[in-house]
Chain A
Amino acid sequence: MSQYQDNIAHGEHAHEGGMDKKAIWRVFGVLLALTCLEFLIALGFVHHWQILTKGALVNTIYIVLTLVKAYYIVAFFMHLKFEKSSFIVTVAIVFIFIIYFIVLMLVEGGFLAGAFQEHQLFPNK
């Protein structure tokens, strides 16, 4: 048991993948920069200067920035990028279901928005 753990511990060091202090602060810099960019868009471009209006374009930018941030957190802070590829696939593949669920429910929501307006209620009298 203990020897097994030792092996694991050594193995972990073997594929450490270069997350030294410098790399950690670099990832932090990326996350901070992306968050600042989101605020620049939200407070600067949309709210203050009113160059952009809230809508599909701005929302797409926010979502892309969010996904990039999520990648950096999972890949580097959670160290997933440096695990064995079969483990990465095991953990990541289930998100296909989540993506499917997002599409499913948003389409449904959009349908309801139209359907409630188009078809009035008839009193049962």
Chain B
Amino acid sequence: MSTTVSQLDKVKTGPWNGGKSPWNLEYGKIMMWFFLVGDAFTFSAFLVYYGAQRFSHPTWPDPDKIFQSIPGIADHGQPLVFVGLMTFILIMSSVTMVLAVEAGHRNQKNEVVKWMLWTILGGICFVGCQAIEWTHLHHMGFWFGKNPATGLEGDAIKTALLPYFTHDISYTSALQFANLFFTITGFHGFHVTVGIILNIIILFMTLNNTFENRGSYLMIEKVGLYWHFVDLVWVFVFTFFYLI
């Protein structure tokens, strides 16, 4: 008598046949990834629209000529230096976040707290720098729906916008630049602010021994994913708004 089981009746044991975690990832972490993919679409839509506007205008303001100040040090003639500092702060805070995650893997509560504090400090510095930059641009006359020539007539428009253009001068493109700059950096700044709040929450959870008792610092990893994503978006914003 044969005991062979037919092919159909065999119990399937592949990774996708149930009873296993095929990706070996916790639910919340997968959902954070999927949220970030969705968020990537939102930011892409913003940046792609910015690109489409730039391509459809015969001329565009020169970022080198708009971002020229270092608040408190120089009002003029220092292109890109301040935004360089902001970029450095954000990359640095991304590093301290990974270090917090790494300390979490080793269940070193005090190290997690230390690196989380640095991360929060970096985030606050970044948002602070952004606030200063927005204020400076507002003083120059840029704002949502406004550029330095808004309300002027005739040749005064040209004179007001001359400092910001290398090629032909266009009121409309200066206006679109202002709108898109404040919308996109504003949306990014909003993300950083949310990230800081999440970081503060998990810092207090760490101090409260929540993760210690749970036996895993996985929550730090999940919030860390969000924080790195914010850094990732900045890399693109920096290139497309400030460099190109």
Contact = CB atoms under 8 A, between A and B. Distances in A.
B163 interface: no
B57 A101 contact: no
A62 B91 contact: no
A110 B55 contact: yes
A7 B24 CA distance: 9
Nearest to A11: B24
A43 B97 CA distance: 30
Given A47-B79, A106-B55, A108-B52, A13 B23 contact: no
A78 B225 contact: yes
B44 A101 contact: yes
Interface stretch (B123-131, B180-188, B226-234): B226-234
B40 interface: yes
B37 A5 contact: no
* Interface of B: prevailing SS: helix
Contact of A83 (B23, B53, B84, B99): B23
A62 B243 contact: yes
Interface in B3-25: 21-25
B2 interface: no
B15 to A, nearest CB: 8
Given A12-B24, A94-B37, A77 B98 contact: yes
A59 B55 CA distance: 14
B88 interface: yes
Interface in A63-104: 63, 65-66, 69-70, 73-74, 77-79, 83-84, 86-87, 91, 94-95, 97-98, 101-102
Nearest to B235: A69
B71 interface: no
Given A11-B24, A102-B51, A35 B88 contact: yes
Interface string B49-71: 10111111110001010000000
Interface residues of B, number: 56
A102 B56 contact: no
B94 A7 contact: no
Contacts of A91: 33, 37
A47 B22 CA distance: 52
A70 B102 CA distance: 21
A110 B221 CA distance: 42
B244 A113 contact: no
Contacts of A52: none
Closest 8 pairs between A and B when the two form their complex, measured CB to CB: A109-B55, A109-B52, A112-B56, A109-B56, A105-B52, A11-B24, A66-B239, A87-B23
19 contacts: A4-B21, A5-B216, A5-B218, A11-B21, A15-B24, A19-B102, A24-B102, A43-B80, A59-B244, A70-B232, A73-B231, A74-B232, A77-B98, A78-B224, A87-B23, A87-B25, A108-B56, A109-B54, A113-B55
Given A54-B62, A117-B58, 18 more contacts: A4-B21, A5-B218, A9-B216, A11-B21, A12-B105, A24-B98, A28-B95, A38-B239, A39-B80, A47-B79, A59-B244, A63-B239, A66-B239, A73-B94, A73-B228, A105-B49, A105-B51, A108-B55
